[in-house]
Amino acid sequence: MGQVIASASMSLDGYIARDDNTIGRLFDWLQNGAVEIPTVNRDITLHLSPPSAEYWKQWVDGLGALVCGRTLFDFTGGWDGTHTVDVPVVVVTHQIPTDWVHAHPEAPFHFVTDGVEAAVAKAQAIAGERTVAVTAGTIARQCLELGLLDAVAVDLVPVVMGKGRPYFGELTLDDVPLGDPTVCIQGDRVTHLVFPVREQSSEGRG
């Protein structure tokens, strides 16, 4: 199986979105460089600095599936049936959006109603040896608490938001130790970091 990695653009004070799920300046780094990268969405073309472009390509080329929550799915409208990074999506939800499914019969989306652990297992089965990306927020927190994450990726943006939705939120565990970053790449107005999740002993759990 490939790794399971939580990933998000994050402000210096730890937020991944405003309270209304808008992103402010967190994704400005996707449009401030000279390297043009088209996506499957004809309306979205990225313009990255060379270091960020190299990091982005390696990240996307290694992806096999993505896990997200129902809040993000609804906020984006399900990406109109095709996620921007063009991989299958597993959505954690209490209720399958049957109208959306009927309207997008060919969409590679899978809706899991029996929890985060089952959703990650489904994504791993789809991804095989490729990486499963977990969107940050509630789902990432649950994955961290369940010991499902291999690493945490942060696109650290030099902006202070003051309030909003934190990357992980309030944990039910004690502090979760991460390893030293295995990736540290300086882009333009962003620093790309990847931290391995260190295995916790039973004494370290709350």
The reported pTM is: 0.93
Better pLDDT: 200 or 82? 82
For residues 155 and 27, the answer to whether their CB atoms sit within 8 Å is no
Domain spans, the chain: 4-200
State the sign of the Cα–Cα–Cα–Cα dihedral 93, 96, 101, 103.
Answer: negative
Q: According to the model, what pLDDT value does residue 7 have?
A: 97
| Both structure tokens of 40 | 């499957």
Q: According to the model, what pLDDT value does residue 198 have?
A: 79
Query: What's the CATH code, domain 4-200?
Result: 3.40.430.10
Q: Tell whether the model's pLDDT for residue 6 goes beyond 50.
A: yes
* Ramachandran class of 14: left when φ > 0, alpha when ψ lies in -120 to 50, beta otherwise: left
- The helices-and-strands tally (H runs, E runs) of the chain is 5, 12
What is the pLDDT of the chain when averaged over all its residues?
A: 94
Greatest distance between any 2 Cα atoms in the chain = 51
Q: According to the model, what pLDDT value does residue 174 have?
A: 82
Q: Tell whether the model's pLDDT for residue 205 goes beyond 50.
A: no
Taking only the tens place, the pLDDT of each residue in 11-34 is 999 999 999 989 999 999 999 999
Task: Tell me the C-alpha distance between 71 and 65, whole Å.
Answer: 18
What integer is the mean pLDDT of 155-181?
93
Binning pLDDT at 50, 70 and 90, where does residue 200 land?
low
Taking only the tens place, the pLDDT of each residue in 60-114 is 999 999 999 999 999 999 999 999 999 999 999 999 999 999 999 999 999 999 9
